[in-house]
Amino acid sequence: MAARPLFTNRLTTGLGGVAVAGVGAVLYYRFMMPTAHADSGSPPKAFGKGPAFLSLKLESSVPINDNTKRLRFELPTQDTLTGLSISSALLTYSWPKGSWLPCVRPYTPITYAEEPGVLEFLIKKYPNGKQSTHMHSLQAGDTMRFLVPIPGYKWTPNKHPDVTFIAGGAGITPMYALIEGILRNPEEKTRITLVFGVNTDADVLLKKEFDAYAQRYPGRFKAVYTVSNPMPGSPLRKGYVTKELLEEVGASPKVKNTKVFVCGPPPMEAALMGTRKQPGILEQMGYTKDQIYKF
């Protein structure tokens, strides 16, 4: 029983520290950032390297399928940029009704870094996911607090001539952010292959955007979708992400300076990257650890 007051004191102190830091960050953002913007002439940025503790208003919430919504938040001004580096995530904060403690979860925005005024997310709702459930409950006009950016993969333009992205389910969001950043950079020549494995046709998130990129950048980007339970008459490939599929799309560890990015549900990541007892598909294909990055 003696441990409970100690825990409570630590929790209270910790939350108090967060609150004080939050006030400081908000004051800095509100008073210093506009000055920096005026002096530099560059667009203001919502997020920098440190804490932001920024509360943003939800502009819209659009259902994509039965468990995923596209949430669009307004940035402080119409010309404000996110300020996030490519594929970075944001730590979200809420205190859901009935919860004893606040909820903090990271999500990767799908907004292009140079698009001003807005911040968008694809949020999949999980049965026991407190934060995803809370975010799905938000209505236009409600607010959400964003604490701090979490840097993503540090991408160097043209460092890898060929890259393969292997995604599953909601793991597509950091992939999309990185792919978009690469393709929309006029200096880039990197060739990209996306392999996206999902359960149903409706789970192929951002398909419209990926198909548009495939048309816009022929020879540089191709997307392959594989569905484990396609609907009758589906035009999409049936199956899972397998060694045979990866070899078919041209993924090879022998390509000089190649890189593979992986993000998906735990069973999929285990199959690709292996476990302590069993090698994964990528190792079986000959990929080394330094050739693989897991979000």
Q: Rounded to whole angstroms, how far apart are CA atoms 115 and 267?
A: 35
R_g of the chain computed on alpha carbons: 21
- What parts of the chain have a pLDDT lower than 70? 1-40
Output the pLDDT for position 98. 76
Output the pLDDT for position 166. 98
Residues 6+ apart with CB under 8 A from 198: 168, 169, 204, 205, 225, 226, 227, 228
All structural domains of the chain with their residue ranges: 24-150, 162-294
Kindly report, residue by residue over 29-50, the tens digit of the pLDDT: 433 343 334 445 788 999 987 8
Which residue bears the tokens 């999949």? 124
Output the pLDDT for position 27. 36
Output the pLDDT for position 40. 58
- CATH code: domain 162-294 is 3.40.50.80
Percent helix, percent strand, percent coil in the chain, to nearest 5: 35, 25, 40
Output the pLDDT for position 38. 44
Output the pLDDT for position 13. 36
Output the pLDDT for position 3. 36
**Feature table: binding site for FAD:** 105-107, 122, 124, 130, 132, 173
Q: Residue 286: exposed, middle, or buried by beta-carbon count in 10 A (0-12, 13-18, 19+)?
A: exposed
Count the Cβ atoms, other than its own, within 10 Å of residue 140: 10
Q: Rounded to whole angstroms, how far apart are CA atoms 83 and 75?
A: 11
* Domain 24-150, architecture per CATH: Beta Barrel (2.40)
**Feature table: binding site:** 105-107, 122, 124, 130, 132, 173
Kindly report, residue by residue over 93-148, the tens digit of the pLDDT: 998 777 788 999 999 999 998 999 999 999 999 988 899 999 999 999 999 999 99
